[in-house]
Amino acid sequence: MRTATRLGLYAASLAVAFGAAFTVTGATIPKTVAQDRVAAMGQGQDHMAAMGQAQGGNEGPTRGVTLAAEGYQLGPVSAPAEVGAAGTLSFTIGDADGQPLLEYVTSHEKDLHLIVVRTDGSEFRHVHPERGPDGSWSIPWTWKAAGTYRIFTDFVPGGSSNPLTLTRTVEVAGTVAPAASPAETRTANVDGFEVTIAGDIQGGASSELTLSVSKDGAPVTTLQPYLGAFGHLVALREGDLAYLHVHPEGAEPQSGQLSGPTVRFAAEAPTSGRYLLYFDFQIDGAVHSAAFVLPADGAPGTQPAQTPGESHGH
């Protein structure tokens, strides 16, 4: 593993361990303490990012474990500090000159995808903030639960074809109810729909995963295009929440086209372990999200294999 990648993984593991150290049953994180911890962690991540850049960046197959890559950096994240407080979540992506990035390549119908998830895998959200004239991104925000969160920004800089995933950690004050490690599951029930996932994740290789949607025992054939496909899949490695490469398979759907009940993806897992998967699909204009936990077999540290014919996707 390259030195820069190790530094990025170390910084991410520090952030997760720091949050876990304060996550005890019935614990309450004072607002001022949470704010101080956020500032301290941001400084630590800045230091690790600078060291990583000095060693050549965080090149390699693992994404979403550092706040800087290829000369771009995710700035501090501003958000409500406690549960239930209405406010705005905002941030800026800086370029190599320290200026706000203003040019993006549209990917999956958006210039930037924002993924927010608590470090235990719960409270997942996939949203799309608005960019202001000054280059800052913002979206109205309210936290539903206290804890330590990872903020992922997934985007392609203007003039590039290489997607980047930059991340920071945010602390949310309040009473923390620690969740047990999620059980492995291939079935999810959400908003009256049953979603199942078939296929196995293979560490160090590309694997095919098939999602199937049904309702009241009948297959759903009215899936609408969502973000340039009939579904969108985010996969995170349990432990450091590394962001996986997941590609929808098949041709990009046309406007008004319907499909179902299955959607296929190619997933590239860099190592063995357990993976948290979140499948977003759209029916009748409403987006639903189903969560799964799958194991991955394979030798840790192996490089992901490339699959011929992969198309558009994270």
> What is the residue-wise DSSP string for 132-168?
PTTSEEEEEE--SS-EEEEEEEEEEETT----EEEEE
Residue 267, pLDDT score: 93
Q: What percent of the chain has pLDDT over 90?
A: 66
Q: Are strands 112-118 and 72-74 parallel, antiparallel or unpaired?
A: unpaired
Residue 61, pLDDT score: 52
pLDDT at 313 over 90: no
Prediction pTM value: 0.75
- Please report, for the chain, the start and end positions of each structural domain, with discontinuous segments joined by +: 3-176, 187-297
* Euclidean distance between CA atoms 289 and 312, whole angstroms: 20
For the domain made up of 3-176, the CATH class stated in words is mainly beta
Instruction: Give me the helix-helix angle, 3-21 and 31-54, nearest 10°.
Output: 170
- Tell me the pLDDT tens digit for each residue of 229-257: 999 999 999 999 999 888 889 889 998 99
CATH assignment of 187-297? 2.60.40.10
- Tell me the pLDDT tens digit for each residue of 108-128: 999 999 999 999 999 999 999
Is 3-176's fold the same as 187-297's?
A: yes
